[in-house]
Chains A and B, each alone.
Chain A
Amino acid sequence: QQQVKQSPQSLIVQKGGISIINCAYENTAFDYFPWYQQFPGKGPALLIAIRPDVSEKKEGRFTISFNKSAKQFSLHIMDSQPGDSATYFCAAGADYKLSFGAGTTVTVRA
Protein backbone atom coordinates (compact mmCIF):
# COMPACT_ATOMS: atom_id res chain seq x y z
CA GLN A 1 0.00 0.00 0.00
CA GLN A 2 1.57 3.21 -1.24
CA GLN A 3 1.79 5.67 1.65
CA VAL A 4 2.71 8.51 -0.68
CA LYS A 5 0.73 9.02 -3.89
CA GLN A 6 2.55 10.83 -6.70
CA SER A 7 1.22 12.27 -9.96
CA PRO A 8 1.54 12.48 -12.88
CA GLN A 9 3.37 9.30 -13.86
CA SER A 10 5.10 11.18 -16.66
CA LEU A 11 5.16 14.63 -18.19
CA ILE A 12 6.68 16.37 -21.16
CA VAL A 13 7.62 20.04 -20.97
CA GLN A 14 9.25 22.43 -23.40
CA LYS A 15 12.61 23.95 -22.60
CA GLY A 16 12.06 27.00 -20.44
CA GLY A 17 8.68 25.75 -19.21
CA ILE A 18 7.53 24.81 -15.71
CA SER A 19 7.27 21.20 -14.53
CA ILE A 20 4.88 20.50 -11.66
CA ILE A 21 4.74 17.21 -9.75
CA ASN A 22 2.27 16.56 -6.97
CA CYS A 23 2.29 14.24 -3.97
CA ALA A 24 -0.24 13.41 -1.27
CA TYR A 25 0.05 11.51 1.99
CA GLU A 26 -2.20 10.28 4.78
CA ASN A 27 0.11 9.55 7.69
CA THR A 28 0.27 12.65 9.89
CA ALA A 29 3.37 11.26 11.60
CA PHE A 30 5.46 12.20 8.55
CA ASP A 31 7.69 15.14 9.45
CA TYR A 32 10.13 15.42 6.57
CA PHE A 33 9.39 15.68 2.86
CA PRO A 34 12.28 15.41 0.37
CA TRP A 35 12.42 15.24 -3.38
CA TYR A 36 14.94 13.10 -5.23
CA GLN A 37 16.14 13.13 -8.83
CA GLN A 38 17.31 9.94 -10.46
CA PHE A 39 19.07 9.43 -13.78
CA PRO A 40 19.24 5.99 -15.45
CA GLY A 41 21.89 3.80 -13.87
CA LYS A 42 22.38 6.15 -10.92
CA GLY A 43 21.15 6.31 -7.35
CA PRO A 44 18.59 8.97 -6.36
CA ALA A 45 20.11 12.37 -5.59
CA LEU A 46 18.59 14.63 -2.92
CA LEU A 47 17.27 17.78 -4.57
CA ILE A 48 15.40 19.72 -1.93
CA ALA A 49 13.47 18.97 1.26
CA ILE A 50 10.96 20.64 3.55
CA ARG A 51 9.63 20.27 7.08
CA PRO A 52 5.87 20.65 7.79
CA ASP A 53 6.28 23.94 9.65
CA VAL A 54 7.26 25.67 6.38
CA SER A 55 4.86 26.26 3.47
CA GLU A 56 7.41 26.89 0.75
CA LYS A 57 11.10 26.39 0.11
CA LYS A 58 13.07 27.47 -2.92
CA GLU A 59 16.52 26.40 -4.04
CA GLY A 60 17.58 27.72 -7.40
CA ARG A 61 15.04 26.60 -10.02
CA PHE A 62 13.41 24.10 -7.65
CA THR A 63 10.57 25.02 -5.29
CA ILE A 64 8.60 22.85 -2.86
CA SER A 65 5.11 23.98 -1.90
CA PHE A 66 3.65 22.31 1.18
CA ASN A 67 0.01 22.28 2.31
CA LYS A 68 -0.19 20.68 5.72
CA SER A 69 -3.98 20.82 6.07
CA ALA A 70 -4.49 19.15 2.68
CA LYS A 71 -1.60 16.73 3.27
CA GLN A 72 -0.17 17.58 -0.11
CA PHE A 73 3.13 18.86 -1.40
CA SER A 74 4.50 19.61 -4.82
CA LEU A 75 7.72 20.24 -6.71
CA HIS A 76 7.97 23.05 -9.24
CA ILE A 77 10.88 23.07 -11.68
CA MET A 78 11.18 26.51 -13.22
CA ASP A 79 12.89 27.23 -16.55
CA SER A 80 13.14 23.49 -17.27
CA GLN A 81 16.28 22.42 -19.14
CA PRO A 82 17.04 19.25 -21.16
CA GLY A 83 19.45 18.24 -18.39
CA ASP A 84 16.46 18.09 -16.01
CA SER A 85 15.11 15.08 -17.93
CA ALA A 86 15.04 12.41 -15.22
CA THR A 87 12.75 10.57 -12.85
CA TYR A 88 11.66 12.51 -9.78
CA PHE A 89 10.53 10.92 -6.54
CA CYS A 90 8.77 12.54 -3.64
CA ALA A 91 9.15 10.94 -0.23
CA ALA A 92 7.94 11.33 3.32
CA GLY A 93 9.95 10.55 6.43
CA ALA A 94 9.04 9.18 9.84
CA ASP A 95 10.56 6.65 12.27
CA TYR A 96 13.95 6.74 10.54
CA LYS A 97 12.57 5.65 7.19
CA LEU A 98 11.49 7.27 3.94
CA SER A 99 8.34 6.23 2.08
CA PHE A 100 8.58 7.03 -1.60
CA GLY A 101 6.08 7.95 -4.26
CA ALA A 102 6.00 5.93 -7.47
CA GLY A 103 8.02 8.48 -9.43
CA THR A 104 7.45 10.91 -12.30
CA THR A 105 9.43 10.73 -15.51
CA VAL A 106 10.08 14.25 -16.77
CA THR A 107 11.12 14.82 -20.37
CA VAL A 108 12.24 18.30 -21.36
CA ARG A 109 12.03 18.94 -25.11
CA ALA A 110 14.57 21.35 -26.57
Chain B
Amino acid sequence: KAGVTQTPRYLIKTRGQQVTLSCSPISGHRSVSWYQQTPGQGLQFLFEYFSETQRNKGNFPGRFSGRQFSNSRSEMNVSTLELGDSALYLCASSLGSLTYEQYFGPGTRLTVT
Protein backbone atom coordinates (compact mmCIF):
# COMPACT_ATOMS: atom_id res chain seq x y z
CA LYS B 1 0.00 0.00 0.00
CA ALA B 2 1.23 3.48 -0.73
CA GLY B 3 1.96 5.59 2.32
CA VAL B 4 0.70 9.02 3.24
CA THR B 5 1.68 11.59 0.63
CA GLN B 6 2.03 15.31 1.17
CA THR B 7 2.44 18.07 -1.34
CA PRO B 8 4.36 20.20 -1.78
CA ARG B 9 7.39 18.92 0.11
CA TYR B 10 9.01 22.35 0.40
CA LEU B 11 7.55 25.81 0.32
CA ILE B 12 8.89 29.33 0.79
CA LYS B 13 6.41 32.10 1.47
CA THR B 14 6.53 35.72 2.55
CA ARG B 15 4.96 37.13 5.71
CA GLY B 16 1.32 38.03 5.17
CA GLN B 17 0.75 35.51 2.40
CA GLN B 18 -1.41 32.44 2.74
CA VAL B 19 -0.57 28.81 2.01
CA THR B 20 -2.45 25.57 1.34
CA LEU B 21 -0.92 22.18 2.06
CA SER B 22 -2.31 18.91 0.80
CA CYS B 23 -2.40 15.40 2.23
CA SER B 24 -3.50 12.09 0.70
CA PRO B 25 -4.04 9.37 3.32
CA ILE B 26 -3.29 5.68 3.03
CA SER B 27 -5.96 3.96 0.97
CA GLY B 28 -8.86 2.97 3.21
CA HIS B 29 -7.95 5.39 5.98
CA ARG B 30 -10.71 7.81 6.81
CA SER B 31 -9.08 9.90 9.52
CA VAL B 32 -6.51 12.58 8.81
CA SER B 33 -4.64 14.55 11.47
CA TRP B 34 -2.28 17.49 11.10
CA TYR B 35 0.67 18.33 13.31
CA GLN B 36 3.19 21.14 13.39
CA GLN B 37 6.79 20.27 14.26
CA THR B 38 9.31 22.91 15.33
CA PRO B 39 12.61 22.64 17.23
CA GLY B 40 11.24 24.77 20.06
CA GLN B 41 7.72 23.42 20.51
CA GLY B 42 8.13 19.88 19.22
CA LEU B 43 5.16 18.08 17.69
CA GLN B 44 1.90 19.87 18.26
CA PHE B 45 -1.58 18.75 17.23
CA LEU B 46 -3.45 21.05 14.86
CA PHE B 47 -6.68 19.23 14.01
CA GLU B 48 -8.23 15.89 13.08
CA TYR B 49 -10.85 15.06 10.48
CA PHE B 50 -12.97 11.98 9.99
CA SER B 51 -15.55 11.67 7.23
CA GLU B 52 -15.25 15.38 6.44
CA THR B 53 -15.96 16.37 10.07
CA GLN B 54 -13.47 17.99 12.40
CA ARG B 55 -13.48 15.96 15.60
CA ASN B 56 -10.78 17.78 17.52
CA LYS B 57 -8.74 20.95 17.25
CA GLY B 58 -5.50 21.98 18.89
CA ASN B 59 -4.59 25.27 20.49
CA PHE B 60 -3.71 27.26 17.37
CA PRO B 61 -5.06 30.62 16.18
CA GLY B 62 -7.91 30.79 13.70
CA ARG B 63 -5.42 31.51 10.91
CA PHE B 64 -4.93 27.75 10.80
CA SER B 65 -7.80 25.88 9.19
CA GLY B 66 -8.36 22.60 7.47
CA ARG B 67 -10.86 20.51 5.63
CA GLN B 68 -11.37 16.99 4.42
CA PHE B 69 -12.92 15.88 1.20
CA SER B 70 -15.24 12.95 0.52
CA ASN B 71 -12.29 10.87 -0.76
CA SER B 72 -10.56 11.45 2.64
CA ARG B 73 -7.90 13.72 1.18
CA SER B 74 -7.27 16.74 3.34
CA GLU B 75 -5.94 20.25 3.03
CA MET B 76 -4.78 22.72 5.63
CA ASN B 77 -4.59 26.44 5.12
CA VAL B 78 -2.61 29.07 6.96
CA SER B 79 -3.57 32.66 6.29
CA THR B 80 -1.59 35.82 7.03
CA LEU B 81 1.65 33.94 7.51
CA GLU B 82 4.00 34.93 10.33
CA LEU B 83 7.70 34.14 10.71
CA GLY B 84 6.83 31.80 13.58
CA ASP B 85 4.77 29.61 11.23
CA SER B 86 7.99 28.27 9.73
CA ALA B 87 7.85 24.58 10.56
CA LEU B 88 7.49 21.05 9.27
CA TYR B 89 3.80 20.32 8.80
CA LEU B 90 2.99 16.66 9.15
CA CYS B 91 -0.10 14.82 8.10
CA ALA B 92 -1.02 11.46 9.61
CA SER B 93 -3.75 9.05 8.63
CA SER B 94 -5.49 6.25 10.46
CA LEU B 95 -8.45 3.98 9.91
CA GLY B 96 -10.56 6.24 12.12
CA SER B 97 -13.21 5.00 14.54
CA LEU B 98 -11.36 4.30 17.81
CA THR B 99 -7.92 3.38 16.61
CA TYR B 100 -5.07 5.79 17.17
CA GLU B 101 -2.58 4.01 14.92
CA GLN B 102 -1.49 7.06 13.01
CA TYR B 103 0.89 6.82 10.07
CA PHE B 104 2.76 9.96 9.14
CA GLY B 105 3.70 11.39 5.78
CA PRO B 106 7.09 12.97 5.04
CA GLY B 107 5.83 16.44 5.83
CA THR B 108 5.84 19.82 4.11
CA ARG B 109 8.70 22.10 5.11
CA LEU B 110 7.32 25.66 5.19
CA THR B 111 9.70 28.58 5.43
CA VAL B 112 8.26 32.06 5.97
CA THR B 113 10.56 34.98 5.16
Contacts and interface: CB of A to CB of B under 8 A. Distances in A.
Interface of A: 2, 32, 34, 36, 41-46, 49, 89, 91, 93, 95-103
Given A96-B31, A97-B56, A99-B45, A44 B100 contact: no
> Per DSSP, are chain B's interface residues mostly helix, strand or loop, or mixed?
strand
Nearest to A94: B100
Interface residues of B, number: 23
B100 A45 contact: no
A98 B107 contact: no
Contact of B43 (A89, A93, A96): A89
Given A42-B106, A96-B55, A96-B56, 9 more contacts: A43-B90, A43-B107, A49-B100, A89-B42, A89-B43, A96-B48, A97-B33, A97-B58, A100-B44
A97 B90 contact: no
Contact of B100 (A32, A41, A89): A32
Contacts of A43: 4, 90, 92, 104-107
> Per DSSP, are chain A's interface residues mostly helix, strand or loop, or mixed?
strand
A89 B102 CA distance: 13
A44 B104 contact: yes
B105 A98 contact: no
Interface string B86-107: 0000101000000011111111
